[in-house]
Amino acid sequence: MLGFVQSALTYIIPFLLVLTLVVTVHELGHFLAARSFGVAVDRFSIGFGRAIARWTDKSGVEWRVGWMPLGGYVRFAGDANAASVPDGEDLEVMRREIEAREGTGAAARYYHFKPIWQRAVIAAAGPFANFFLAVALFAVLLMAFGKTIYPARVDGVVPGSPAEHAGFQVGDRVIEADGRRIESFLELRQIVFLRAGAQIDFVVDRGGRTLTLTATPERRVVSDEMGGEQRVGVLGLEARESFNDREVRRYNPIQAIGGGAAMTWNILDTTVYYLGRLVSGRETADQLGGPLRIAQVSGKAAQAGAEGASDIGQVLLGSGVALLNLAAVLSVGIGFMNLLPVPVLDGGHLLFYAYEAVARRPLKAEVQAAGYRLGLALLVGLMLFATWNDLQQLRVFKILGGLLS
């Protein structure tokens, strides 16, 4: 029993806090955009399931808190169609029913009768709310704590590694990799991880001289900080982070917003690059994670943030900071995923609206329904694959095999 409680506090609660924050902000983006265009909204819910608290505001919106804290949702008035884009016949029937019930012109308040551009803005507002959340969280952390940077200095070169073959030497400082400015060894490692088998040009500072070296990272199995294993690109460079070498960069509010935007863009750019290599077969799916990985990362982040704390206040502060950073990263991922042109996701709605704008009529309901089923199947399949990947990464099958043998 004690072990279960400890696991809940360590993994489940941080996971729920992070997920609920990110998904609620996503839905809040849809809600605020809809209200700005005068769309009638029935309900905004934080969490799912039976309500443990509810109230109705002056505009008639029911606000509720569900007992299952796994995100939330916003429900527009009359939003019964699964794809949220009824066809022409459905729209006409809906209009007659609304006007018979509420009077002439009442349909103008409903989402489906708004101009296409307004519906597109509402659909895109959720993902962009996630991007804004990431920028805001990164900015707050930069203002409060600054950014700790350890220079990308080479303290060791593994014999026989791609780095040795390329001519790297101890004392080199990497200032550019694959055309990107490098400020820290962490940034260098992130670039190398995703470029196994790809030739990379490096610009290094060697005793005041600027040199260009070319190396191709080789794919190796490495253990990550979460206890799992991944096949990533490895160059063979070693660094020893010294307290005397570190630089703590401070940010004013304007600089912090710019820094937060840059960090958000970097995550997006890295995600697109990784997916491009994955689709082309040049990258493995090791880094695709599902809810198990998110829960594990949430727990590890909370533990790492609390490490070394001397009292409960420092524990909460450290854990909170780590989870806010994780929430920012996850928010970018959820925002990007929802913009993919897959029915069921916001990007799928935008795809339907693009067709409607060109054809001057909504897509037929049967086609939308088929697209919805296909999109749902793809989403479920991806989730199952990610969960299977999580189990493998966490070496669950090896552990079970050892217990059963």
Inter-residue contact 212 to 202 (CB < 8 Å):
yes
**Cα 381 to Cα 370: distance, rounded to the nearest angstrom:** 16
Which residues, including other chains, have CB under 8 Å from residue 400's CB and lie 6 or more apart?
A: none
* Structure-block tokens of residue 34: 């809809």
Q: Give φ, ψ of 233 to 5 degrees.
A: -75, 135
Of 44, 111, 105, give the one whose Cα is nearest residue 84. 111
| DSSP code of residue 220 | E
Alpha helix (H) ranges present in 249-395?
A: 253-279, 291-306, 312-338, 346-359, 365-393
DSSP bridge partners of 62:
43, 56
3-state secondary structure of 248: strand
> Around Cβ 212, how many Cβ atoms within 10 Å?
9
The CA-CA-CA angle for residues 26, 349, 364, to 5°, reads 155
Active-site pick, 27, 92, 97, 164: 27
The first and second tokens of residue 370, run together, are 């088929």
Closest residue by Cα to residue 361 from 164, 86, 126: 86
Q: Which two tokens stand for residue 214?
A: 């070319």
Phi/psi for 78 (5° steps) reads: 75, 10
* d(C-alpha 283, C-alpha 197), whole Å: 9
Q: Is 27 a catalytic residue?
A: yes
* Contact partners, residue 234, CB within 8 Å, separation at least 6: 161, 162, 192, 196, 217, 218, 219, 220, 222
Q: How far apart, in whole angstroms, are the C-alpha atoms of residue 194 and residue 172?
A: 22
Distance CA(289)–CA(382), nearest Å, equals 10
Tell me the catalytic residues.
27
